[in-house]
Structure 1
Amino acid sequence: MENHEKAQEQLIKELAGMRRRVADLERSEAKYRQIEKALQESEAKYRSIFENSVEAICQTTREGNILMANPVFFRTLGYDSYDEMARSITNVYNDLYVNPEDRQRIMEVVKQYGAAGRFRTQFYKKDGSKIWVSFSIWSVHDAQGKFLYYQSMGEDITELKAMEDALRKSEQECRGIFENAVMGIFRTSKDGHYLMINPAGARMYGYGSPEEMMQSVTDMAHQIYVRPEDRKTVTGLVERNGFIEDYEVEHYTKDGGTIWASVNARVVRDATDAILYYETISQDITERKRLEQRLSAMSITDELTGLYNRRGFLTLTQQQLKIETRAKQDMLLFFTDLDNMKQINDTLGHKEGDRALIDVAGIFKETFRESDIIGRMGGDEFAVFAINTTDETQKILTTRLQNNLDTFNDRSMRPYKLFLSIGVAHYDPETPSSIDELITRADTLMYEQKKGKRHFV
């Protein structure tokens, strides 16, 4: 009996133990299911990120074989599917990198630091064309530290690279223009300090280098401007209008001498409209100003119109021709006459003819720039010498002259209209011509227009 009770008690203990083990197994299974569910969710989340990332993602072996790639990656390379890409790219060293040595350099960095960030290189696309990419790459290991694969993430920067190259080229071209310009180019602060000076600008004021001038001049108003108030006038005009053109001012040079400068300037502001700096292009016009002063003592002005007479025009243009030729600047010579001058004199008298000439002179002054030289060559003939011109200048000036002439005729109460014939000769500094040759060419073109009755009306 006693043995039976002991056997029964032992059986009960074993049964309780089995129940505990079953319970433990059930708890372990539940925990396993939770872990498995979490793992599935994690894998799904990773897969979603991998598949829907806006950046190209790729996994590769040490040997350069592709293990996985997301849609952005293979589409960036021009493939329609991962399988199509996998058939073409068997090894990234040989089939993907334009410069395989780039891959080797990246791997050396990753080997040393575990990752390489934002590396730029070129990849081949499906059609054989090349693209620029920027990507990061790092090595992935398991919990025991065993290497699994390299993972990279990046983007196509071909358009960005093209814009950067274009910007760099533009900056180099601008720098070349800045350094080699024959006129002085300056950037100055509001308080009168030089921020940038090109070599021609330094030479213009007698300094050996831009650096020397920037270090020497700390107060432009008193060290550069002969009349300090002119600095305030110039900056005031620029700030009000945004720019000034052909403003003539007298400046000091390094040795205390003076020069005359023709200034073109603009103001540069930031997003809040605060002034950042002024940009200025200056031309030394000392020779012209001295010549003008000498000519002022001579009979160079046409008494009737106030323009230069033939002598003044020829003297001034010959000197300007030398200056502009040295500066390699194109120029234009306009030669015109008043078509109906004889009819006005014959029918209305010479006094009315004089009024017509004065009106034509006024139209020329309104049409042409202050830097251009305008003269009455005699009788009803006029000439204009336009300096520093471009291919578009002739069209701009002739159109402006036509419009001003039409406006005058529409508003005039005179019993006649003004009609002009015109000829234009182009001066190319590479094939120099004299003023007389330019006048002859322009005069011939003018009479061809007059003869063909293609009057400038």
Structure 2
Amino acid sequence: MTRKNIVYLVVFVCVETVLSGLLFWGKERAEQRYVENVLVHHQGQYASNIACFGRLARFTAREIFMNPEAVALFAQGVEASGVERDRLRTALYALLLPSYRNLGQEYFRQVHYHGADGVSFLRMHLPEEFGDELFTVRPSVRLANSEKHFVEGFEVGRDYHAFRHVFPLQKEGKHLGTVEISEPFYVISKALRDIYPEEYFLLLKKDLLVERLTQEGLKNYAGSTLVDGYLQEKADFVAEAAEHRHAGHLAPGLIARINTEIRPKISGKLAAGKPFTQTVLLDGQDYLVVFLPVVEIDGRIAGFLVSYGVELPLAHIRHGYLLALLLASVLLVLLFGLHLRTTRKIAGQLNFQRQLMETIPIPITLKDRDGVLLNCNQAVVDLLRLPREKIIGQRTDSLVSPEAVAQQQALDRKVMVCGHRQQEEQHLVFPDGTSRDLLVVKAPFVDEQGKVAGVIGSAVDITEQKRSAAEIAQSHAELDQIFNTAANGMRVVGLDNTVLRANKTFFALTGLTEQEVVGRKCYEAFAGAACQTGQCPMSQILANPRRLESELVKVLPSGRSLVCAVTATPYRDINGEIIGIIEDFRDISRYKELEQHLREIAITDELTGLFNRRGFLTLAEKQMGNALRADHDMFLIFADLDNMKEINDRLGHETGDLALATTASLLRSTFREADIIARLGGDEFAVFISCKPETDSEQAILSRLESNILQENRSGDLPFSVAISFGVVRLKKDETLGQVMTRADGLMYESKLRKKKGAGNGGQANPVA
């Protein structure tokens, strides 16, 4: 092997080593970024599930376990003692049992009432167990009662662990105690498995469980195969458990193998109490184990939520690295082989270069110090449109115009004086009157003694390029004018969310200056709720390149909000690659306000502020459906102002409007905000009521209304007496809204007839049905 070949081999090995290192570093970075993204994704999954159960718990507590009747029984129970306290506890249990059973085990297994002193009052899941003190073992109960505010989070109790939601209970401003709703971990893990194809388990610190749980409760846990000092529920170890049958199911034996692989690597990470991941390669398959810390209400790390999932992208990254390394190695071999072959041909290429002048497409000339042409290539012949014999041996002044001769001679002198390459643009006029723009480049050539013997010149015809450049400049000027005079605000945003440019309309729309917009991030200069989310136009277009139209709310630095119609399109380079987006903004805030106003007046009576007929029919139909599903009682009241014509004729229509407004006010003060009150037209009114069974009756409703009318007339503030005829009906389950309205209208009409006939002899002036 020659010395030259040894040098080539050493260089090849060095380059191959560096290349392998760079590719390996890139692979490691890609794997790291992917795993970090998966960790963030899991954190979002966990947080969103906990938040969903929190909202469900608040709704369930408000609608069932904190309703007025339940709170009233609880208030009496915590203040009573002995047999009376037991009776009230039993009554509260009986009241809530149907709703508790309807909840089943799907969401909330534990519902627990505690007194203000932390003593258990009623466990819906274990009604026979009560009276134990909880403050010492249940921080959530202690905090909710001592600070009198809602507390939620994970907590280990006496018998088991759960995600808990503790609500303070009050009556007439007095703190009574708390009610707790809890969902066990299997509910959370089942919700996660239903959405995401992975296995989920909960590791809990052994010392925390020993501190909190009873001996009976500890029997439900066993040591973890993953790490010492942590326990798992024994249910996790049941082979092929029915609840584990889902898309991401992994066999217990496989999970045990994964645990064996990662066990030596995770002790220090667990001790840090931070989210982390651990990758495993088994049988050619990549698995990713994600650890998310579970924090107790008091801030202690209780354990970790552990998920096991198959990660195909990790294999893709690894295979991509190996393929890139193979391709790079092959390419490197080819390059070195090509170089060796090239060096062997240099001698032949030197001869080729001497002939190259003839084939070069740009004009090349060789002149002596006196300006006589010694040689030229075919491109010169074509440019001057003369045969070669009429060019060689001639001076430049005999071939081109005097102006061009002066330019050529000046450039020649400059090259020979300075001895360096020079170039300039020249306008060449030919004898036939045509002209061309040329980029003339000249360099000296020397003789054997190193003295400048003449000038080598070349020229590139740039006539078309200059014309194109002028046209492009004109086009840019026109586009800038169009861009800056567009009716809508426009901005161009790069892939890194940096604003590249914006038009004058955009600055006028936002009140921002060019310095506050251009060069800054788009979500800083003109922010909105969709920024840096999946609803951001940039994110949507990168996911699916297309023209995108949407309505977005933007917030100016002053705090004022704008509702904008946004049209976003991909911004592409000359190769068609997306390098950003172009956004068009049109302020539609006034249109949205007008739209909302029109929507409101479409269902509202202008005079009284009540719903009109359209609004009543729409909302009553919806409320009727809700009441039927909840098995509530429903009532419909038709009311008619008796003396409306007389008031109008005697006191004027302005007083008539006052009578209608007064009637509306009486109805508002009589009924709840949840009831649907409407003026159907003229002096006719209607009220739709939905309430729990046995809460109200037709006669009670009628009595309240008549009492309020009597009180209004006694005040004497009005120049007339309010007299209203009513028809009150209880809805039947098989009736439509139209049918019940007909019945109520009939009863109201009967009432009006009785009044006209003077029905004051014990008869009922306002009938009910």
TM range (shorter): 0.3 to 0.5
Query: Which structure is richer in relative contact order (CA contacts within 8 A, separation 6 or more)?
Result: 1
Report the structure number with the largest CA radius of gyration. Answer: 2
TM-score by length of 2: 0.29
TM-score by length of 1: 0.46
